Chains A and B, each alone.
Chain A
Amino acid sequence: MLIFWTLTGLACALAGLLILSAAGAAGGAAASGPEEDEAARGRALARDLEELDRMAARGVLVGAELEAARAEVARRHLEADVAVAAPVVDTAGRLRQARWVLAGTGVTALAALALYIGVGSPGVADQPYARRVAEWAETPGMLDAPKLAAVMEREAANQPENFEAQALLGAARFEAGDPIGAASALRRAAMLRPDDAQTWARLGEALVQTQEGEVGTDAEMAFLRALALDPGQLGARYFLGELALQRGEAARVHEMWSPLIAALAPTDPRRVDLESRLPSLSGSEG
């Protein structure tokens, strides 16, 4: 907080310095009288006439054209009623005005402060993302899913070849409601360790989520891989059974769901649900 107010003070001081030096330079530079005004106009005229001379020398302007241009330029300068130079001020006047400038600068700084108190949020600290993630990483047990995913994302980025990191990132993103990100991480994990049934099953689930519940070809492939590696992957069995149910393959549904039903407690509502949906094996009903 102290550093902040020091910096704001510094900013005001710098602005004041700029204003005072500009005022001082302008006051010092503006020291010309009427005769100088006259001289200045004369010099401007001389310069314009020289420009015409140069054009004449190059042959761009000739004869009557040149004479007409000269007359026009001369007339323009004669009629010039431009207050060319700044008015003169004596030293005492300059000092008095400098005091006004100083006062104005002070008022400006106060106005800025008042405005800031009105619209700003004094004392609120910065929260750069990297630092927040580092803080979250200190207390991994207390994080909700999105924060955990953020922490894991950093870990996974640091160790792109680490299977655990990718798999955990996938799980965390899945929990955080980001199935696309989860699928991306789980796919990388599956590349790193293609023989891990759990990862394939989770990848399949993430892919199902991205399709809002539909079991697509990619998800089906993932579930099949999982089951081939480990027939005990119950989640994979569930989804493959659903798919078979949709396709009307009754025998396949039984093949998938029977071990699943067996694994569930008899009172589990999920077991009841599955049993009620099991198609009869005669194949006439879907």
Chain B
Amino acid sequence: MIVELGAFALCLALALSGLQVVASVAGRLRSSPVLAGAGEGAGLAAFLAVGLAFGVLIYAFVVSDFSVSNVALNSHTDKPMLYKVAGAWGSHEGSLVLWCLVLTGFGALLARARTGEAGLPFGLKAVAVAAQGGLGALFLAFVLFTSNPFVRLSPVPVEGASLNPLLQDPALALHPPLLYGGYVGLSVCFSLAVAALIEGRPGAGFWPAWGRWIRPWALASWALLTAGIALGSFWAYYELGWGGWWFWDPVENASFMPWLAAAALLHSAVVTERRGALIGWTVFLALVAFSLSMLGAFLVRSGVLTSVHAFAVDPERGLMLLGILGLTAGAAFTLFALRAGQLTGRTLFAPISREGALVVNNLFLSVAAATVLVGTLYPLVLEAAGGATISVGPPYFAVTFTPLMAMALIILPMGPLLGWKRGDLIGALQRLAWAAGLSLLFALIVWGLFRPREALTGAGLALGAWLVLGALAELTERIRLFGKRTPGELGRRTRALPLAAWGMTAAHAGLGLFVLGAVVETGLKVETARPLEIGQTVAAGPYQATLRAVEIIEGPNYLAESATLEVEPLGGGRPETVRAEKRFFPAGGQTTTEVGLSFHGLDDVYLVLGERRLSDSGERAWTVRMNWNPWARLIFLGPALMALGGLLSLLDRRLRTVDTTRRKRSPA
């Protein structure tokens, strides 16, 4: 009965989303706050209904109700509780319910957004709520008609088929909610852009205000995407056991494209807000960002990535997703084309200015996003067109994407130091001179210490340091650290800095840390693999590991061969004990690796237990792969700092639009 209640709640949510569209449109057309209010209420109710359905789905997983097909296919009674719960969004159907939950959740937040003088105008909000409701209705219909998670089974199987053990990991249990938060948060930017295209006025006041309205949504989405992608990358790093953290896999690209677009949108929205310029471009990016999110969902969820043929075998889901994408993006971009002529701002700026720097940043970010898009879709299109099958992998992105981003990063620290409208490039460069000098010095020192294999590593080091120091330089400029200042005045200036400024500094410095980590890890990592008998030692970089013992252990739902290794610096030092495991899950018949990670400052010592065989001397031996990944910690700390920066900016009072203390006004 509870399960069926979930199914009903999903149906109710779809109907409510429909009402949300109709009431909001009617409210706008009849200029009726009552009808528009009903639309907002319906949006809120739809969110609660999807929440109920999602809760019921989790309940079905927790109690292992195998009469629910989705549970039977993706759960097993021997799974630990965390993965029973996470199994609710580990499957195709469940993940789409999560998508709808986030979509309607953002819709509910939008419905609660402030109206009136400090908030959204009546008409704009009504249309945006209607657009958001339309998106919700489309995706809920997709869930109900092609991916209903509440389909029942008869006869009921005795046991479930279990969740892919690779997904039974704490990081991956949290990864989809974060990622979907980011993907779907962009839907609000999309809806607000559609609403602005319909409601927009040529007056100079409208568009800067609009830029301010979409910024919190873009910021929140971008921060969630950053955290989600970093978490997914960290999972790949320690769960797959390949030693890498980014593979330019189409699934990764699917989440990276919206991230790039959201980053571009964030920056261009600033220009629109502050200067009333780049209006058309910002609107365009808002539409593109969510379209790329939907494209990502299509790529990952339709099976088209495995092969075009796999897609053709069961095309129903894929075609419907493609239909949703075509319908929403098609309608939005047609609207954009019709209104594009009216979207030019009147504000002018010199090429050398804050706006100019942000425009160049946008150029590189958006071309980078386009490059990832082309690299991801090209093999699919070529194959579908009957051409040859090709692979687009890391070497392609190394020569296309990397130079584009490097260009964007070189100019990044200058932007914040240039004035609006007309900037003083020489002055900015003078103020950055110490940062530039220190970056080069830093690169030279690290180069001299470690002697990397490729010259590009040196350039990357300088670039990363330039970003971190540039962010700090901008901060010191803001509080005027240099000059004759009393400590009290410095403190006052520091406190007076808006949160958004701290956020920007944190995000830019985080990006720099990430670049440093990525460059050093890629350029200097050392990998060794050799068969070890008990007591034998393998070395990589400045560390060595000794195999102490291997035992068979029984986990909650797996058997594991568990190796105990002792890691110590080559020069001598305190040894640290690390476990590396190879787990076998009988329920699905799959094995996974659990990497042994030993942290040394910013370095990782990464140990993978491999196959067992007899050594030449006839003893039992295990192939152990050992990686020394210098500064690998920065690859994940950097994005964490970036996401934190996004959060800080989001908390800035000036960006608050959601009304938490709804005003009470007496009716006139």
**A44 CA to B208 CA, complexed, in Å:** 14
A20 touches B38 (CB 8 A): yes
B1 touches A4 (CB 8 A): yes
A23 touches B38 (CB 8 A): yes
B23 touches A83 (CB 8 A): no
A121 touches B152 (CB 8 A): yes
**A84 CA to B118 CA, complexed, in Å:** 8
Q: Mark B632-668, 1 if CB is under 8 A from A, else 0.
A: 0000000000000000000000000000001101011
Contacts of A31 in B (CB 8 A): 665, 667-668
A85 touches B8 (CB 8 A): no
A85 touches B66 (CB 8 A): no
Contacts of A281 in B (CB 8 A): none
A26 touches B14 (CB 8 A): no
Known: A27-B37, A58-B492. A111 touches B15 (CB 8 A): yes
Q: Which residues of A contact B (CB under 8 A)?
A: 3-4, 7-8, 11-12, 14-15, 18-33, 40-41, 43-44, 58, 60, 75-89, 93-94, 97-98, 100-101, 104-105, 107-109, 111-113, 115-116, 119-130, 132, 146-147, 150, 178, 180-181, 184
**B39-47, B295-303, B510-518 - the one binding chain A:** B39-47
Picked from A21, A79, A89, A178, the residue with its CB within 8 Å of the CB of B41 is: A21
Contacts of A111 in B (CB 8 A): 15, 18
A184 touches B554 (CB 8 A): yes
Closest to A104 in B: B19
Q: Which residues of B contact A (CB under 8 A)?
A: 1-5, 7-9, 11-12, 14-16, 18-19, 22-23, 26, 30-38, 40-42, 44-45, 48-49, 52, 60, 63-67, 77, 111, 115-118, 121-124, 144-145, 148, 150-152, 156, 158-159, 201-206, 208-209, 276, 492-493, 496, 554, 559, 586, 662-663, 665, 667-668
Closest to A133 in B: B77
A85 touches B117 (CB 8 A): yes
Closest to A85 in B: B116
Closest to B31 in A: A87
Known: A127-B67, A146-B158, A180-B586. A81 touches B203 (CB 8 A): yes
Known: A40-B117, A60-B496, A181-B586. A82 touches B206 (CB 8 A): yes
B1 touches A126 (CB 8 A): yes
B18 touches A116 (CB 8 A): no
Known: A26-B33, A89-B32. 17 other contacts (CB 8 A): A12-B12, A18-B45, A19-B38, A21-B41, A23-B37, A83-B124, A84-B121, A87-B33, A104-B38, A112-B8, A120-B4, A122-B4, A123-B4, A124-B4, A128-B65, A129-B63, A146-B159
B126 to chain A, nearest CB (A): 9
**A211 CA to B667 CA, complexed, in Å:** 80
Known: A31-B665, A105-B19. A116 touches B205 (CB 8 A): no
A83 touches B41 (CB 8 A): no
Known: A80-B209, A127-B156, A128-B64. A22 touches B14 (CB 8 A): no
**A180 CA to B200 CA, complexed, in Å:** 67
**A211 CA to B15 CA, complexed, in Å:** 55
B206 touches A81 (CB 8 A): yes
**A127 CA to B64 CA, complexed, in Å:** 8
Closest to B45 in A: A15
- 7 residue pairs of the A-B complex, CB under 8 angstroms, read A27-B33, A40-B117, A83-B123, A86-B33, A108-B12, A120-B4, A128-B63
B422 to chain A, nearest CB (A): 11
Residue among A32, A41, A125 having the largest count of chain B Cβ atoms under 10 Å: A125
Closest to B14 in A: A115
**A101 CA to B26 CA, complexed, in Å:** 10
Contacts of B65 in A (CB 8 A): 126-129
**A87 CA to B201 CA, complexed, in Å:** 17
Closest to B112 in A: A22
Known: A101-B35, A126-B3, A126-B65. A11 touches B9 (CB 8 A): yes
**A8 CA to B49 CA, complexed, in Å:** 11
Contacts of A18 in B (CB 8 A): 41, 44-45, 48
Closest to A80 in B: B205
Contacts of A22 in B (CB 8 A): 37-38, 40-41, 44, 111
Is chain B's interface secondary structure helix, strand, loop, or mixed overall?
Answer: helix
B64 touches A129 (CB 8 A): yes
Contacts of A112 in B (CB 8 A): 8, 11-12, 14-16
Closest to B203 in A: A81
A120 touches B16 (CB 8 A): no
Instruction: Give 4 closest A-B pairs by Cβ, nearest first.
Output: A26-B37, A80-B205, A22-B41, A81-B203
**A41 CA to B150 CA, complexed, in Å:** 51
Closest to A95 in B: B34
Count of inter-chain pairs, beta carbons less than 8 A: 237
B434 to chain A, nearest CB (A): 23
A98 touches B63 (CB 8 A): no
Contacts of B52 in A (CB 8 A): 11
Picked from B4, B37, B77, B586, the residue with its CB within 8 Å of the CB of A25 is: B37
Contacts of B16 in A (CB 8 A): 15, 108, 112
Contacts of B22 in A (CB 8 A): 104
**A180 CA to B63 CA, complexed, in Å:** 24
Residue among A58, A88, A104 having the largest count of chain B Cβ atoms under 10 Å: A104
A120 touches B201 (CB 8 A): no
A11 touches B123 (CB 8 A): no
Contacts of B209 in A (CB 8 A): 80, 82
**A150 CA to B160 CA, complexed, in Å:** 12
Picked from A14, A20, A82, A130, the residue with its CB within 8 Å of the CB of B203 is: A82
Contacts of B1 in A (CB 8 A): 3-4, 125-126
**A28 CA to B144 CA, complexed, in Å:** 37
Contacts of A60 in B (CB 8 A): 496
A18 to chain B, nearest CB (A): 5
Closest to A150 in B: B158
A224 to chain B, nearest CB (A): 20
**A24 CA to B664 CA, complexed, in Å:** 12
A119 touches B7 (CB 8 A): yes
A254 to chain B, nearest CB (A): 31
Known: A115-B14, A124-B152. A44 touches B118 (CB 8 A): yes
Contacts of B67 in A (CB 8 A): 124-127
Closest to B145 in A: A119
Contacts of B115 in A (CB 8 A): 86
**A19 CA to B15 CA, complexed, in Å:** 13
**A184 CA to B257 CA, complexed, in Å:** 47
**A116 CA to B26 CA, complexed, in Å:** 26
B491 to chain A, nearest CB (A): 12
Contacts of B42 in A (CB 8 A): 15, 19, 108
Contacts of A14 in B (CB 8 A): 45, 48
B203 touches A4 (CB 8 A): no
A28 touches B667 (CB 8 A): yes
A116 touches B33 (CB 8 A): no
B113 to chain A, nearest CB (A): 13
**A116 CA to B3 CA, complexed, in Å:** 12
A82 touches B66 (CB 8 A): no
Contacts of A44 in B (CB 8 A): 117-118
B146 to chain A, nearest CB (A): 11
Contacts of B18 in A (CB 8 A): 108, 111
B117 touches A84 (CB 8 A): yes
B117 touches A11 (CB 8 A): no
B44 touches A129 (CB 8 A): no
A119 touches B41 (CB 8 A): no
A4 touches B5 (CB 8 A): yes
Known: A80-B205, A104-B23, A130-B63. A89 touches B34 (CB 8 A): yes
Picked from A4, A43, A80, the residue with its CB within 8 Å of the CB of B4 is: A4
Contacts of B19 in A (CB 8 A): 19, 104-105, 107-108
Picked from A40, A76, A121, the residue with its CB within 8 Å of the CB of B205 is: A76
Known: A85-B122, A115-B14. A8 touches B5 (CB 8 A): yes
A229 to chain B, nearest CB (A): 25
Contacts of A24 in B (CB 8 A): 34, 37
Known: A15-B48, A27-B37, A120-B7. A79 touches B203 (CB 8 A): yes
**A129 CA to B29 CA, complexed, in Å:** 52
**A127 CA to B49 CA, complexed, in Å:** 23
